[in-house]
Every structure is written in C-alpha cells, then in structure tokens.
C-alpha cells in the first residue's frame, strides 16, 4: 500500500504507525493472555477513529478486520487505554530553554516576537444530541459538539489540551477556566505570550491577537510597496 493510501486509511504515515506500535506494545492494556498482534489491534483502532456513523460501527469494522463486533470493541478499548497512558510523557509543557527556541522560531517564521505558542479551540462533533443539557452543546454551526482548546508550539506539536466544555461555550470562557489560562504567569516569562484569534481577550491572560497584528503587518507591507523609492 502506498504511503498516501496508508495515511488516508489509518490517519498516520506508515512510519508513524510503527513508531506508535513500539510505544504502546509493552502496555499492560494488552495483558499476558494470548491474543492477536498489537499491530492488528492498532490497525482496527485507527480505522475506527477515522470514520463516523455506519463506517465506525463495530460490526462494519469487524468485517474488514475479520473479527466479530465484540472483539473490535475490545481492541479499541485496549488501544485507547494504552494511548492515554502516554499522556504524561507526550503532553509536556516547555521549559525556559525551549521557550527561547520557540520564541526565536515564531519570530523568524511568523514575525511574532516573544511568542512561544498558539492557542485556538475546535469543535468536536457529537453523533447526536445528549439527553441531559443537550441544548448547551448546540453550536453556532448548527451541530452538536464539544469545545476543545489546544495550545501548540511552532512545530504544531500539542503542548496542552483542554476538552469537555459544551459546544456553545465561548472560546474565551473555556480558556479562562482552563488550568493553562489561570496559570499563564507561572508558565511563561513576563514578556512572553501565546498568539490567538480575536475570540480571545488580549493582554489579560498573556494572549496576543494575531488578527490585529497580521492586519498591521499587511498594511505596513502595502505602504512600503506603494512608496516610490
């Protein structure tokens, strides 16, 4: 299978797939009892994550993986548990030395001095309306979803994630109530900040709005090009 096809089917490149297998194969989630290989279970798990609706049904995936629906559910549960065990070693906040490197990268690549990360929220769609307080999850886009806030560095590596708020919650409200939003003074230097869009309040929580900065830079470039000398 070509790498593009592999990535389309399983959401990651083949190289990344085997790296992930190496990371989780020693997890106690798989136990010691005889079972199918971790590789196969991982294939089933990634296939499950990449689809929704009927495509994500255990019976449908079971036919592809040559196993029954109950076994698919077991594979998904095992792999999910194994992946979550990696959280503390993967989602790590940067130290002062990394902050300097990240600030240099943002300055060089995006022209944001002293910026160390970017923050934004994403709506994770729900398959159906929840029975309890379901209306709170109704979004401006006309769907039901969960609000998930993500902070990433210059390499697009996730440094912090905060999920679970209803889809109707404003991004700033989610940020303010997150551990990250209430600890920016301890997490960043006095001149450092995270960049965000206009949904977030500037300055108060160590946030700088990229929209206004970008408009300023574009205007400056247009003025410079218009000059006759």
- Do residue 116 and residue 218 come from a single domain? yes
- Do residue 39 and residue 106 come from a single domain? no
Domain boundary among 63, 87, 111: 87
How many angstroms separate the CA atoms of 220 and 229, rounded? 15
- Do residue 205 and residue 112 come from a single domain? yes
Instruction: Say how many domains are in the chain.
Output: 2
- Do residue 202 and residue 159 come from a single domain? yes
The model's pTM? 0.74
- Do residue 40 and residue 141 come from a single domain? no
Instruction: Determine how β-strand 115-125 pairs with β-strand 145-152.
Output: antiparallel
- Do residue 124 and residue 199 come from a single domain? yes
Per-residue pLDDT of the chain (229 residues; tens, 9 = 90+): 777 888 887 878 889 899 999 999 999 899 888 888 899 899 889 888 887 776 778 887 887 767 888 889 999 999 999 999 998 888 889 899 999 999 999 999 888 899 999 999 999 999 889 988 999 999 998 999 999 999 999 998 999 999 999 999 999 999 999 999 988 888 988 889 998 888 888 765 577 766 555 544 444 455 455 554 4
- Do residue 200 and residue 158 come from a single domain? yes
Domain boundary among 57, 87, 117: 87
- Do residue 25 and residue 99 come from a single domain? no
- Do residue 110 and residue 50 come from a single domain? no
pLDDT, mean over the chain = 85
- Do residue 37 and residue 79 come from a single domain? yes
What is the residue range of 105's domain?
Answer: 91-225
- Do residue 82 and residue 163 come from a single domain? no
- Which positions ≥6 away from 198 have C-beta within 8 Å? 209, 211, 212
How many angstroms separate the CA atoms of 178 and 20, rounded? 29
pLDDT digits (tens, 9 = 90+) for 26-82: 998 998 888 888 998 998 898 888 877 767 788 878 877 678 888 899 999 999 999
How many angstroms separate the CA atoms of 62 and 76, rounded? 11
- Do residue 63 and residue 135 come from a single domain? no
Give me the helix-helix angle, 3-10 and 38-49, nearest 10°: 70
Domain boundary among 70, 87, 104: 87
């Amino acid at each position: 299978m070509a790498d593009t096809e592999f990535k389309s089917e399983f959401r990651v490149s083949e190289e990344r797939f085997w790296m992930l297998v190496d990371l989780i194969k020693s997890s106690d989630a798989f136990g010691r009892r005889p079972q199918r290989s971790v590789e196969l279970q991982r294939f089933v798990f990634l296939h499950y994550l990449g689809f929704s609706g009927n495509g994500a049904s255990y019976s449908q995936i079971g036919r592809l993986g040559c196993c029954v629906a109950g076994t698919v559910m077991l594979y998904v549960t095992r792999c999910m548990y194994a992946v979550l065990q990696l959280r503390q070693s993967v989602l790590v906040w940067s130290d002062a030395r990394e902050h300097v490197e990240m600030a240099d990268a943002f300055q060089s690549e995006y022209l944001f001095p002293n910026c160390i990360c970017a923050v934004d929220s994403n709506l994770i769609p729900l398959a159906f309306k929840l029975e309890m307080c379901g209306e709170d999850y109704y979004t401006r886009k006309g769907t039901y979803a969960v609000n998930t806030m993500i902070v990433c560095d210059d390499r697009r590596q996730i440094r912090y994630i905060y999920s679970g708020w209803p889809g109707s919650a404003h991004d700033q409200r989610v940020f303010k109530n997150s551990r990250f939003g209430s600890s920016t003074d301890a997490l960043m230097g006095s001149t450092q900040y995270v960049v965000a869009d206009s949904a977030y309040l500037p300055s108060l929580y160590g946030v700088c709005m990229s929209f206004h900065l970008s408009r300023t830079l574009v205007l400056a470039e247009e003025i410079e090009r218009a000059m006759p000398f």
